[in-house]
Amino acid sequence: MRQIILLGAACLLCSAPLTAQSGASGPHSAEAPASIRFQIPAQPLADALREFGRQAGVPVRADLAAAAGVRSRSLTGPYTAEDALARLLEGTGLRGSIAENGTAQVTRGGSAAYTLTPLTVVGMRNRGYGAARISSATKTETPLRDVPQSVSLVTHELIADQAMQGMGDVVRYIPGITMGQGEGHRDAPTIRGNSTTADFFVDGVRDDVQYLRDLYNVERVEALKGSNAMIFGRGGGGGVLNRVTREAQWTPTRVVTLEGGSFDHRRGTVDVGQGVGSALALRFNGMYENSGGFRDQASLERYGINPTMALALGTRTTIRAGYELFSDHRSVDRGLPSFNGRPSDADITTFFGNPDSSYSRVRVHSASGVLEHRTRGGITLRNRTRYATYDKFYQNSYPGAVNPSGTRVALSAYNNGTDRANLFNQTDVVVEAATGPLRHTLLAGAEIGRQQTENYRETGYYNNTATSFSAPINQPTVATPIAFRQSATDADNRARVSVAGVYVQDQVELTRFLQVLGGVRFERFDIDFVNRRNGQVLDRRDDMVSPRAGLVLKPVQPVSLYGSYSVSYLPSAGDQFSSLTATTETLEPERFTNREVGAKWDVRPSFALTGAIYRLDHTNTSAPDPVDPKKTVQTGSQRSTGWELGASGEVTEAWQVVAGFASQHAEITSTTRAAKAGQLVPLVPHRTFALWNRVQLFPALGVGVGVVRQSEMFAAIDNTVTLPGFTRADAALFLRLGARASAQLNVENVLDERYYATSHGNNNIMPGASRTVRVSVSTRR
């Protein structure tokens, strides 16, 4: 763990201007150390050092024997990390320094012997658009530069600066990921050519139900690309998206934001919290939104509440707990049909179908707890539990094919309900040790989980008689009544899944120039499936071994070159447990194999460049036999190849950037009845580019300018409908209104470009929003 801490600017819309930067300078930086605005109350010294580490974004090691019984002084104002540490220790007889690897060290003066113990620093702040370290990629606190994998982060500051509304906005700036339409009611990314609705995580724990996630309580979103089963378990073939939520901290936080804009957009959020004495901290995040949309008949009402707490039991043990209630009720809109291989020329606001029969609702309750303890010998013990229930229902009336003359469109309808309860427990043990000249960071862990799912689907019958209804293409919004009842093939099932996994990993520093990583997970996946339609009871057990290996070469301190290999598996029940039949019960899991080389360069302590080249093979997929369709064969395969570039952080103290470029090619490599070899995977544009700049012109005035470019892509696997490429420009204005308030203006699609962002198949194509304006005002105390 040898890394200079890289920190960007704190540019949350109501924070201090970019003249108050955070960061730590290292031996390769020619610039003066940037200042950080600290706010640390007087408290026991060990707790104050934890808070210092969190606010400065640095690991802390301290002589706890000398710190016992000592209280710190309070610290408020802008300081460099070195100055802040020195002032915090004034009068204690202890001495502080920032080591070359970015770690703060606190020792007693003189020549007395002492032992340095790592302190648990939870929730280190990211500053601005960059971040220096990550724990989810390896389950150990590791510099990003030392992770042999492509990792993209979208920080809370970037989310706020762009007024992002959901995961679809987040992935615009992550190379290699596009967001599918998801039938208008779920997040559905395609990651390196592999589509998924289940590879979502919250603080490293699975969050796999199909719904649209909000960002009101998110500290950052992490995209970990390539096969990730060694850390995250089954699935994760193309990559995973992990939301890191905000946690209770001892530093006071009081932020209220009100937002309004085009299409009746109305939203408010609150984030308040502080320490209650030296041992307890509380925090509350809340959100309410009631908005329309640029499409006809669009409506959205959602809210969320998320209280959290942290309890410090001495200097070595921390308990954290949280609860979230999230509710989302919206209209379901599946967009426009296609005609002659392109999106229909219909007005982009036109709703196709019966809007009164098109809506979704989801209600999520989740509770989580984390216990972390560091022994005197430097061993970290961590146990995390998360229990969540999901009540999801959606119903939709949507377009199908347009007739050859382009005058009429077929409409269909169905609904689906899903109830799921997830319980997961993870236990990790992390040990830092040395064997001769080699330094090890060893991880051993176990995960157990249980998931119970109920699925029920009904087909829509127009006028209670027909499953398809023909509407004029120029008047596709209908009020025709729809009766919903089960057809012969509609689902009515229950699935119970039990998961047990164990994993080990070793990160070895062979020399200051060379590191290796190796790990493996053994996972047992059991599913019991009951089909209530025919009384069929099915079960299957899969034992999966998922390895991971990586090599990191550091020719000079700011640069790392890496290579990696990893494998993931997806059981035949599918990522939503709905694919198990008497036939698929006999099939082996699908396999994902990722090979990758890349480079990471910390151009300056707060600005990083990354690049990666990869090949990802998806094999063992199932489809009807092209010779005998009554048989199912597991000969399907596809290959994704590509390269990507990323940039994030501060180019200067007044200029922040995030950028991503991806070149991808994903094709079917073996013929099945589903697709022929050589056909391209849908929703994988050959090239994408995104660039966002924030420039602080004056202490109270900043501007943001961005551009998103996407080349054309196919809407479905048959490659008959093409979504045209597009370029979209965005802009923002940031105003500071005194010491405790700020205002922000965001304009999306400044040039009012007509474009088609994504689709769900050939005839559910979602146009991008026309010019959209949002204004927000925030206060902070």
pLDDT per position as a tens digit, 599-627: 999 998 889 999 999 999 999 887 766 66
Side-chain-side CA neighbours of residue 695 (13 Å) = 6
Question: Which band of pLDDT confidence, cut at 50, 70 and 90, is reported for residue 35?
Answer: low
Summary mean pLDDT of the chain: 89
Q: What is the DSSP string of 58-110?
A: --EEE-HHHHTTPBPPPEEEEE-HHHHHHHHTTTTTEEEEE-TTS-EEEEEST
Question: For residue 357, what is the DSSP state?
Answer: G
pLDDT per position as a tens digit, 251-304: 889 999 999 999 999 999 999 999 898 889 999 999 999 999 999 999 999 999
From the number of C-beta atoms within 10 Å of its C-beta (0-12, 13-18, 19+), residue 576 rates as middle
Euclidean distance between CA atoms 81 and 96, whole angstroms:
10
pLDDT per position as a tens digit, 758-768: 999 999 999 99
Provide the β-strand partners of residue 482.
Answer: 462
Euclidean distance between CA atoms 597 and 610, whole angstroms:
11
pLDDT per position as a tens digit, 486-514: 999 999 999 999 999 999 999 999 999 99
The 10 Å Cβ neighbour count of residue 316 is: 19
For residue 387, what are the CA distances in angstroms to 242, 284, 424, 500, 529?
17, 19, 7, 16, 22
The encoded tokens of residue 565 equal 């290999």
Q: Work out the percent of the chain whose per-residue pLDDT is above 90.
A: 71
The 10 Å Cβ neighbour count of residue 36 is: 25
Q: In 532-677, where do the E strands start and end?
A: 536-553, 559-570, 590-604, 607-624, 632-652, 655-668
Q: What is the mean pLDDT of residues 515-544?
A: 95
**In this predicted structure, which of 82-96, 367-381, 387-401, 480-494 has the lowest mean pLDDT?**
82-96
